[in-house]
Amino acid sequence: MITDPVPPRPRWTLPRPAGLRPSWLIVASLLLVLTVIAGVAFGPVSLPFGGVAAELANRILGTDFDTGLTAQQAAIVWKLRLPRVLLALLVGAMLALAGGCYQGVFRNPLADPMLLGVAAGAGLAATLFIVARTAGVPLPRGLLPLAAFVGAVLALAATYLLGAAGGRRRGTTTLILAGVAVSSFLSAVQTYIQQRNVDAITSVYSWLLGQLTVAGWAEVRLLLPYVVVTAALVLFRRRELDVLSVGDDEAAALGLHPRRSRLILLLAASLGTAAAVSVSGLIGFVGVVVPHIIRLLTGRSYRGILPLSLLSGASFLILADLAARTVAAPAELPIGVVTAFIGAPFFVLVMRTAKEAAP
């Protein structure tokens, strides 16, 4: 008896979740363009919104609009405002994308990009660097981002090594506990160093609270490659987060290697976060607030959450930086304080909602 051959089982057998709506992508992109123009136009010295838009279009798109800007105003746009706005764009996009990735990997809407000791490692390295400069060691200030990045990467490596010591069968819970342990230890060391070097406390706190005041094209060029590589890797593998959401056993039955996928996604998101933190200091809540809002608006599929978080995180931090520059002008608030004012109440609201929804 001749029978038809049984076709091979497809690798992906989950129902395809709702993907990325073009309308959402268009709205998020337009919002980002408007926030970039607003971030460049407004500040202690306001510039005409239309003139700034025309100036950017002339340089970027090759148009020939009459901007009405003086040479001094054009210099403010290109030498002062635009580098800072672009740095806020890159940092916000990276933190929000990493936050969405962490929430998918750990299956927890409150997961944060700083979860695995990245913030503590960067903070300790930055503290050591600032203390050394205060003590007279001839270190160029431009090396501070490099020092923070190295500290973040070393802390991340320590977390993975400690988590690996818990056994191969232990998953995300072990990594979280290892990250908490590493963060607590490094934070304690940092506090001890600050107490022993009172003269450097002001500079240390300025960095720890997050700041873009020294932003320039050098910082933009430094961060851009990390953002491009991390975004490409995470977005390319974003559908794996939908598969991981059903559980490791089910994901493995569908042809996915859960441990390998989780490791690649976590490494990419953590290294991208380390690069962002190294140039901006510690800016909290972006990775919690933005992906969660996107999830509420568009659904639970990471095919839509991650690209929209990337764009919306950029807009969010540009607006937060704009508020930091203008609310108390001519003084300037640390951008981490602004995001905390927004993020802390939102964090409490998310926890309360989750508690009420629990059976």
Could you tell me what percentage of the chain is helix, strand and coil, using 3-state DSSP and rounding each to the nearest 5?
75, 0, 25
% of the chain surpassing 70 pLDDT: 89
Given CA atoms 247, 262, 181, 212 in this order, what sign does their dihedral have? negative
Question: Residue 81: inside a domain, yes or no?
Answer: no
Whether the per-residue pLDDT at 8 is higher than 60: the answer is: no
pLDDT, position 72: 92
Question: Residue 10: inside a domain, yes or no?
Answer: no
- Only one residue has tokens 């105003």, namely 73
DSSP 281: -
Task: Give the pLDDT band (50/70/90) at residue 14.
Answer: very low
Question: Residue 105: inside a domain, yes or no?
Answer: yes
Whether the per-residue pLDDT at 3 is higher than 90: the answer is: no
CATH classification at residue 128: 1.10.3470.10
Question: Residue 141: inside a domain, yes or no?
Answer: yes
Question: Residue 112: inside a domain, yes or no?
Answer: yes
Top-confidence residue, 329 or 195: 195
Q: CA-CA distance, 241 to 97, in Å (whole number)? A: 13
Which token pair is 268?
């990419």
Q: Please give the tally of structural domains in the chain.
A: 1
Per-residue pLDDT tens over the stretch 203-225: 888 778 887 876 678 889 889 99
Per-residue pLDDT tens over the stretch 56-113: 999 988 888 888 999 999 999 999 899 999 999 999 999 999 999 998 888 877 778 7
- The per-residue pLDDT of the chain, averaged, comes to 84
Per-residue pLDDT tens over the stretch 276-330: 988 888 898 899 889 988 988 888 889 999 999 999 999 999 999 999 999 887 8
With 0-12 / 13-18 / 19 or more C-beta atoms within 10 angstroms meaning exposed / middle / buried, residue 79 is exposed
Q: Determine the angle formed by the axes of helices 82-106 and 172-196, rounding to 10 degrees.
A: 140
pLDDT, position 214: 64
The predicted model scores a pTM of 0.86
- Only one residue has tokens 């109440």, namely 345
Question: Residue 320: inside a domain, yes or no?
Answer: no
Per-residue pLDDT tens over the stretch 342-357: 888 877 776 666 555 4
Q: CA-CA distance, 105 to 95, in Å (whole number)? A: 15
195-210 burial by CB neighbour count: b if 16+ within 10 A, else e?
eebeebeebbeebbbb
Structural domain including 111 reads: 89-312+333-357
Question: Residue 137: inside a domain, yes or no?
Answer: yes
Q: Which of 125-134, 157-166, 220-229, 350-359 has the lowest mean pLDDT?
A: 350-359
Could you tell me how many residues make up the chain? 359
Which token pair is 9?
């089982």
Question: Residue 229: inside a domain, yes or no?
Answer: yes
